[in-house]
Amino acid sequence: MGEAAVPPRRRRPGRAGWPGTVTARRLLRRAGALPYWLAVAPMVARLPASLAYRVACRHGDWSFRYWAQKRSETVRNLRQVLGDGLSPEEAERLTKELFRFRSCDLIDVMRLRGRASSLGRLVEIRGREHLDTALAEGKGAILCSAHFGSYQSAFSLLHASGFPLTTIGRWWWNYAPGLSTAERRFWDLAYARRVLRHRQRPSIEPWPGRVQVAVQAAAALRANEVVTICSDAAPLGADRARSVEVPFLGQQARLLPGVVTLARLTGAPVLMVFVHRLADYRHQVLEISPPVPMDGETETAFGRCAAAMDTAIRTRPAHWFFWFETYDLSGLGLLPPPA
Amino acid sequence: MEAVINDYISRELVQDATLLPLGNATPLLETGILDSLSLLRLVMFIQEQFGIAVDDLDLVPEHFASVDTICAYLRSEAGGKAGQAGGHG
């Protein structure tokens, strides 16, 4: 059931051990996912917030305890990237927080029902004025973020609060080979449907060979809408040639500076946005920055976005979901390629 | 039209000089000349130069496979729009 807390992040074609190898353990986890996603979590999300998020934390703790393989992988990733300054105990504590946050993220998604007011009451939005000012220029706005905190729910909340918003991003299950149609339908129903209810347009899904992505994003910006991009994703396939090296988490990481190019071509300002959870687990703060300067070389301009992501992750490491994903960390150049 | 588009792609979008001079039949997608962002630049150029707005639904690889297919698509668009205007008259 550990895998059920939040959809695992996208997998890569040809990835060893996934998804061709269907182990008994994975089958059990998948079997556990169904009732949790379809029945338990929606019911828990309807409880009073303090109770709902307490239950989510317990579920996260349960996953932390019994999903030993993912737990040790995450601890190892944290220590390898953040260095020896992170003690084993601290890495263990952060990993436990990560499992809790993933579980709470699911409750956030479930609380997006209706007008999302049951989640909206728990999330303070700071910096709305920056987005208002940006949209007043009439060229739309690009919100740049990372796979950090409950970012999908946060984007949905922004839309529900009056900003017409569309996301550039791919649902992992649409691209994972070996996944059955029933499984894809399951994730569509359990996750995407809830999130996409609060979006202006269907998600713009980038993938090598999908050349229409930037034009679709530009169309949304021309309509003075908001487009979101998570710029911490590892470049795939042919996109690697267009990646740039920027300082990120103490190393030179390879990231795609598409946000800068899109901003320059459309004239839309780029604002950074991050959402983090407070110590009581149920309240969150969504912070929108003033526009990031886009002058200078592409690497320089994008380096400012990377620096903002870096700061957010270092300040609250347990909010970054890529610690779970060795493959993604390798793709970014933060870990050696898997053997 | 072919010369104008070929010239723009050659000047602005081709990163690999070994692909020059660019033939009108040269595959633009397989060679990596056109990607998502360079297609956006090309679409903006087409709109500015020829006054033709490319519809989202027309953003398919077949229309942007080469300079030849781009021009064929643009001619069909221009013809279609002219036909529609004539029909209303």
pLDDT at position A31, please? 57
pLDDT computed for residue A4 by the predictor: 38
pLDDT of residue A22: 46
- Residue B20 pLDDT > 50, yes or no? yes
A14 compared with B13, residue with greater pLDDT: B13
Most B-contacting residue of A139, A215, A266 (CB-CB within 10 A), to test interface: A215
**Residue A144 confidence (pLDDT):** 98
Cβ neighbours, 10 Å, residue A140: 25
Which amino acid is present at A164?
Answer: P
Pick B85 or A84 by higher pLDDT: A84
Q: Do B39 and A212 touch (CB under 8 A)?
A: yes
Phi, psi of A245 (to 5 degrees): -95, 125
Nearest to A127 by CA among A292, A288, A312: A288
Q: Mean pLDDT across the stretch A307-311?
A: 98
Looking at every residue in chain B, the average pLDDT score rounds to: 87
All residues of chain B having their beta carbon less than 8 Å from the beta carbon of residue A211 are: 29, 34-36, 39, 59, 61, 64
Q: Is the pLDDT of residue A48 over 70?
A: yes
Alpha helices in chain A, H assignment, sequence order: 24-35, 41-45, 49-66, 68-82, 88-110, 117-120, 128-136, 151-160, 181-187, 193-196, 213-222, 258-266, 298-315, 326-332
CB-based contact B39 A211, cutoff 8 Å: yes
Q: Does pLDDT of A309 surpass 80? A: yes
Share of chain A above pLDDT 90, in %: 73
**Adjacency order of strands within the sheet including A226-230:** A123-126, A284-291, A270-277, A141-145, A226-230, A165-168
pTM as predicted:
0.86
Q: Which one-letter amino acid corresponds to residue B3?
A: A
Distance from CA of A69 to the nearest CA of B (A): 38
Q: Residue type for A91, please?
A: A
For residue A9, pLDDT beyond 80: no
Lowest mean per-residue pLDDT among A5-14, A138-147, A266-275:
A5-14
B21 phi/psi in degrees, rounded to 5: -70, 145
C-alpha torsion sign, points A233, A238, A240, A242? negative
Judge whether B57 is closer than 8 Å to chain A, CB to CB: no
Are A214 and B40 a contacting pair at CB < 8 A? yes
B28 pLDDT more than 50: yes
pLDDT of B66 higher than 80: yes
The whole-number pLDDT of residue A47 equals 95
Q: Which tokens sit at A242?
A: 């267009």
B-contacting residues in A 215-254 (Cβ below 8 Å): 215-216, 218-219, 238-239, 241-242
pLDDT for position A7: 45
What does the alpha-carbon distance between residue A275 and residue A158 come to, in Å, rounded to a whole number? 11
Of the candidates B18, B68, B35, B15, which has an alpha carbon nearest to the alpha carbon of residue A213? B35
> Residue A222's CB: how many other CB atoms inside 10 A?
14
Phi, psi for residue A260 in degrees, rounded to 5: -70, -45
Residue of B37, B43, B61 lying closest to A258 (CB–CB): B37
Cβ contact B40–A210 (<8 Å): no
Task: Assign A30 a pLDDT band (cuts: 50, 70, 90).
Answer: low
Q: Which of A32-36, A137-141, A217-221 has the lowest mean pLDDT?
A: A32-36
Q: According to the model, what pLDDT value does residue A11 have?
A: 44
Instruction: Give contacts of A 265-284 with B, CB under 8 A.
Output: 265
**Torsion sign over Cα A30, A332, A233, A211:** negative
| Mean pLDDT computed over A111-121 | 95
Task: Check if the beta carbon of residue B48 is closer than 8 Å to that of residue B3.
Answer: no
pLDDT at A17 over 70: no
Token output for A263: 């901003």
Distance CA(A320)–CA(A327), nearest Å, equals 15
Q: Is A202 left (phi over 0), alpha (psi -120 to 50) or beta?
A: beta
Contacts of A216 in chain B (CB under 8 A): 56, 59
Q: Comparing C-alpha atoms, which of A225, A236, A316, A230 is closest to residue A272? A: A230
Q: Are A215 and B32 an interchain contact pair (Cβ–Cβ within 8 Å)?
A: no
Least confident of A75-79, A159-163, A177-181: A177-181
Q: What is the pLDDT of residue A330?
A: 94
Mean pLDDT within A72-78:
96
For A257, which residue in chain B has the nearest alpha carbon? B37
pLDDT score for B57 = 80
Report how far residue A80's alpha carbon sits from residue A88's, in angstroms, rounded to the nearest whole number: 11
- The answer to whether residue A212 neighbours chain B at the CB level (below 8 Å) is yes
The whole-angstrom separation of Cα A248 and Cα A236 is 18
Q: Does the structure show a pLDDT above 90 at A297?
A: yes
Using DSSP bridges, classify how beta strands A141-145 and A270-277 pair: parallel, antiparallel or unpaired. parallel
pLDDT band at A25, cuts 50/70/90? low
Residue A15 has pLDDT above 70, yes or no: no
Nearest-CA distance B51 → chain A (Å): 16
**Is the pLDDT assigned to residue A260 strictly greater than 90?**
yes
Q: Which of A206, A215, A241 sits opposite B39 (nearest CB)?
A: A215
Lowest-pLDDT choice from A62-76, A163-177, A270-284: A163-177
Instruction: Report CA torsion sign: A190, A194, A197, A203.
Output: negative
What is the DSSP secondary structure assignment for residue A178, as one 8-state letter?
A: T
DSSP code per residue over A278-330 = -TTSS-EEEEEEEEPP--S-HHHHHHHHHHHHHHHHHHSGGGBGGGG-HHHHH
Rounded Cα–Cα distance for residues A70 and A93 (Å): 14
